[in-house]
């Protein structure tokens, strides 16, 4: 699975004029399931995101995690993280998981964060969403479960 993680002061996602998720300080996590991903990949990614030390400590060092700070997570599905831009001008998305599997893993990822005691809000899978955020820092991190054993 792939994720683009942004440390935020606040973030929200809106679908058809209706706010489906809104958080204060925490992480905006754009997530994409890839072909071959399974629930273990979703759980592995959730654990890495929850423990990622990108929040400031008392010495102003990025040394605290979402678990340490008690912050929230706004989890938004984004299949475009699977974009293949190696040839031509139009990205290909054939490496993304099929929609049914993608939705299942997206929801499992969000539930895995919740099971660690993190407050989680979500977007709406497959919808045209408007995401608003205030990136704190700015801090933006890319993760891919295929990058680590």
Q: What is the CATH number of the domain that holds 46?
A: 3.50.80.10
Domain count across the chain: 1
Chain centre to alpha carbon of residue 86:
24
- Examine the pLDDT at 147 and tell me if it is beyond 80: no
Q: What is the pTM of this model?
A: 0.95
Q: Which of 80, 130, 134, 140 is catalytic?
A: 80
Active site (annotated) includes residue 79? yes
Q: In terms of residue numbers, what domain contains 141?
A: 2-84+93-147
What digits encode the pLDDT tens for the residues 120-139?
Answer: 999 999 999 999 999 999 99
109 is catalytic: no
Mean pLDDT of 39-53: 97
In the set 6, 14, 55, 79, the catalytic residue is 79
Given 14, 78, 122, 145, the catalytic residue: 78
18-23 and 2-15 beta bridge pairing: antiparallel
85 an active-site residue?
no
């Amino acid at each position: 699975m792939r994720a683009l993680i942004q440390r935020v002061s606040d973030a929200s996602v809106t679908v058809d004029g209706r706010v489906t998720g809104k958080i204060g300080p925490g992480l905006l996590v754009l997530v994409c399931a890839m072909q071959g991903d399974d629930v273990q990949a979703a759980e592995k990614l959730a654990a890495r995101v929850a423990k990622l030390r990108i929040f400031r400590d008392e010495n102003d060092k990025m040394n605290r995690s979402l678990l340490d700070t008690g912050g929230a997570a706004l989890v938004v599905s984004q299949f475009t993280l699977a974009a293949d831009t190696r040839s031509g001008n139009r990205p290909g998305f054939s490496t993304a998981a099929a929609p049914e599997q993608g939705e299942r893993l997206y929801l499992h990822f969000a539930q895995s964060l919740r099971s660690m005691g993190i407050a989680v809000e979500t977007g709406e899978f497959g919808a045209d969403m408007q995401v608003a955020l205030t990136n704190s820092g700015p801090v933006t991190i890319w993760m891919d479960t295929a990058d680590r054993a």
